[in-house]
Structure 1
Amino acid sequence: MIVGNERITGLSPAVVGELVAELGPLWHERHRARLVSRVRMRAVGAGARYKLVFVDRLLATLVHPRHGTTHDVLACWFGVDRSTITRAIGEARPLLAERGCTVAPGLRLRTLADVVGHLGTSRKTAILDATEIRVRRPAQGTAGRDRFISGKSKQNAVKVMVLTDAEGRLLFCGEARPGGCPDITQARASGLVDLLDTGPWVEILADAGYQGLGGQTGGQVVTPPHRKFRKHPPLWYEEMHAREKHAHSSRRIRVEHGIAHLKNWRALARHHGRREYLPATIQAVAAVASHQQNVTRPLAHAA
């Protein structure tokens, strides 16, 4: 029932089947490697069997971020102990995160370098933006506690960089930083400027939060036009500036659709868990969401 209901996992049964077929052997291999690597009093494989098979472990890992379901509720649902669910999610989440964003059958992008190389090869335009995920406030006395306060929302948050293509399909989601980090600082710290400087020429659309990157990247990052008249601008200039801003906004609006698709996963709307697990959760959600997008809206050249 869980596999066949897309409202529960956010994925079609075909996609869930592909994930099971791909990740199942990897999970079994890593599980056996963990058993072999430690000092043992009995042979590998001896002892009690897991009550939760890999398929159920994967489903629990998908339902947890999709609906923000607690480990206690999942434990009752699957009829196991809470610690079993915690361990299952901790084992399956990295497997999903390592898949990267699927842009075509057999083609996945895992790093910003992969994205820049793909854009240079395909001659496609990308759209850059950042989104915030609300998190729990760090404990009092924690170093850097105020860095998580977002200047935009005035709430404790983590900022995530998102890159989509011109149709809103996910190309990259990651580089999580405290919410107080400006968008342009996050982009520079991620190494995007260096990649654009040394890689192929690409076009990336961005909003006003990234103004300044255009000059650093030779015009590869395109931002809204600057205002040349601060006071008492002529009417013709106001009309021209409004048209240019609208045209730029119309081209980059698809990244907002991609972000909204991510925020359908409750854990990326507001994260209630530990902050150190959030980057892996973000990458895992981006991996499965991009896979689902590729199935429902395949690229024209991949059809």
Structure 2
Amino acid sequence: MVGNGSRAAIIDHRRITGLSADVIAELVAEAGPLWHEQHRAGLESRRRQRAVDAGAKHRLVFLDRLLAAPVHLRHGATHDVLACWFGVHRSTITRAIGEVRPLLATRGCTIAAGSRLRTLAEVIDHLGVSGQTGITDGTEIRVRRPAVGRKDREKFISGKNEQNAVKAMVLTDTSGRLLLCSPAQPASCADITHARQLGLVKHLSGGPAVEILADAGYQGLGAQTGGRVVTPPHPQVQEEPAGVVRGDLRAPAQGALLTPAPGRARHRTPQELAGTRSPPRPTRALERQDPSHRRTEPFRVR
């Protein structure tokens, strides 16, 4: 079990967890009773040979379990490292993080005193009532490579950075305040596909008139939502200059003509056409085919 001094250092230094001491105290007050209730319900749900509260006590108390989860999520520390830090077995850290993360997810995002947003529908309604513009994008977090033989192992490889990662869709307002962070999906899932799976199109089509800004990864949602998702326009195709046929290697206006040369077709430069530059020397393959192209000057040793 981590000592009181180490626990106080984790709470006092915000860089470790990303949370202030007041927020951590609020999380303990809210999530603590829920965790104890779930733990007791799990013990009572199966047949036991002794009382529920009998036996050894937890070496990792709820506060330490709560601190281990944000440290893991913020810095990506492995469970082995956290187990050494907290003085418990790795399986204890794995079980603790698995119990705490759902409690943090159901808490939602606090936007005001006593007001929280937990679902995408609530976020859309909040933006519609307040008249604000939303900003959405997908973010990737690198994860350890799945074990060999695991089903759909390649789905975690991101097409953007070719690394094993998971992806989540984040929705904020124009001031950067977090409104929603979706459940993670394998990184091979495209941003627009993830948004459709979360029901963004359905909530925007049948909800209030909300404008959401997105990058080029969400192009196509604007037509499906009546223009409520604003994305950068597709690049315009530039018109070809007069006299240029699509597929030409070089335009005549640039001063080069496509003329045949011995052995193969190539471009003649303006200097060659003007006679101020000699053509390139024939290759050895051309000399073997046509002896008239053989070099007359001796070879020089460089």
TM-score (ref. length: structure 2): 0.70
Sort the Cα spacing of 1:98 and 1:90 in 2 relative to 1 into closer, same or farther, 3 A. same
The answer on whether the counterparts of 1:175 and 1:190 sit within 8 Å (CA) in structure 2 is no
Measure the CA separation in 2 of the matches of 1:70 and 1:178. 19
Sort the Cα spacing of 1:80 and 1:142 in 2 relative to 1 into closer, same or farther, 3 A. closer
1:125 paired with 2:117, answer no
Most deviating of 85-94 and 31-40:
85-94
Q: Which residue of 2 aligns with 1:31?
A: 39
Q: Which runs of 5+ in 1 are unaligned?
A: 234-303
Of 157, 164, 179, which aligns to 2:165? 157
Sort the Cα spacing of 1:8 and 1:149 in 2 relative to 1 into closer, same or farther, 3 A. closer
Shift of residue 124, structure 1, vs aligned partner: 1.0
Q: Matched residue of 1:3: which SS? A: helix
Q: Matched residue of 2:12: which SS? A: coil
Measure the CA separation in 2 of the matches of 1:139 and 1:226. 40
Shift of residue 35, structure 1, vs aligned partner: 1.5
Q: Matched residue of 1:128: which SS? A: strand
Measure the CA separation in 1 of the matches of 2:84 and 2:165. 30
Sort the Cα spacing of 1:93 and 1:189 in 2 relative to 1 into closer, same or farther, 3 A. closer
**Which amino acid counterpart does residue 32 of structure 1 have in structure 2?**
R
Q: Which residue of 2 aligns with 1:281?
A: none
1:13 paired with 2:7, answer no
1:42 paired with 2:50, answer yes
Matches within 5 A, 1:164-175: 164-175=172-183
Q: Which runs of 5+ in 2 are unaligned?
A: 1-7, 242-302
Larger helix proportion, structure 1 or 2? 1
The answer on whether the counterparts of 1:202 and 1:220 sit within 8 Å (CA) in structure 2 is yes
Shift of residue 114, structure 1, vs aligned partner: 1.5
Q: Which residue of 2 aligns with 1:83?
A: 91
Shift of residue 232, structure 1, vs aligned partner: 5.2
1:53 paired with 2:56, answer no
1:104 paired with 2:112, answer yes
TM-score (ref. length: structure 1): 0.70
Sort the Cα spacing of 1:65 and 1:143 in 2 relative to 1 into closer, same or farther, 3 A. closer
- Using the aligned pairs only, state the percent identity: 69
| Count of residues in correspondence between the two structures | 233
Measure the CA separation in 2 of the matches of 1:74 and 1:145. 26
**Which amino acid counterpart does residue 159 of structure 1 have in structure 2?**
K
Q: Which residue of 1 aligns with 2:205?
A: 197
The answer on whether the counterparts of 1:131 and 1:159 sit within 8 Å (CA) in structure 2 is yes
Shift of residue 140, structure 1, vs aligned partner: 4.8
Measure the CA separation in 2 of the matches of 1:201 and 1:34. 45
**Which amino acid counterpart does residue 239 of structure 2 have in structure 1?**
K
Measure the CA separation in 2 of the matches of 1:185 and 1:74. 35
Measure the CA separation in 1 of the matches of 2:57 and 2:202. 50
Sort the Cα spacing of 1:148 and 1:61 in 2 relative to 1 into closer, same or farther, 3 A. closer
Matches within 5 A, 1:235-250: none
Sort the Cα spacing of 1:182 and 1:78 in 2 relative to 1 into closer, same or farther, 3 A. closer
Q: Matched residue of 1:98: which SS? A: helix
Q: Which residue of 2 aligns with 1:242?
A: none
Most deviating of 134-143 and 109-118:
134-143
Shift of residue 88, structure 1, vs aligned partner: 2.1
Shift of residue 202, structure 1, vs aligned partner: 0.5
Shift of residue 101, structure 1, vs aligned partner: 1.7
Q: Matched residue of 2:35: which SS? A: helix
Of 228, 234, 251, which aligns to 1:220? 228
Measure the CA separation in 1 of the matches of 2:68 and 2:185. 27
Shift of residue 18, structure 1, vs aligned partner: 0.8
Structure of higher RCO (CA pairs closer than 8 Å, 6+ residues apart): 1
* Cα deviation code 1:194-247 (max 9, x no counterpart): 1111111101001122122111111111112344443359xxxxxxxxxxxxxx
Larger Rg: 2
Shift of residue 112, structure 1, vs aligned partner: 1.2
Measure the CA separation in 2 of the matches of 1:79 and 1:137. 26
Shift of residue 156, structure 1, vs aligned partner: 2.8
The answer on whether the counterparts of 1:6 and 1:12 sit within 8 Å (CA) in structure 2 is yes
Would you identify which runs of 4 or more consecutive aligned residues in structure 1 move more than 4 Å? Answer: 139-143
Sort the Cα spacing of 1:133 and 1:81 in 2 relative to 1 into closer, same or farther, 3 A. closer
Shift of residue 139, structure 1, vs aligned partner: 4.4
Shift of residue 163, structure 1, vs aligned partner: 0.8
Q: Which residue of 1 aligns with 2:74?
A: 66
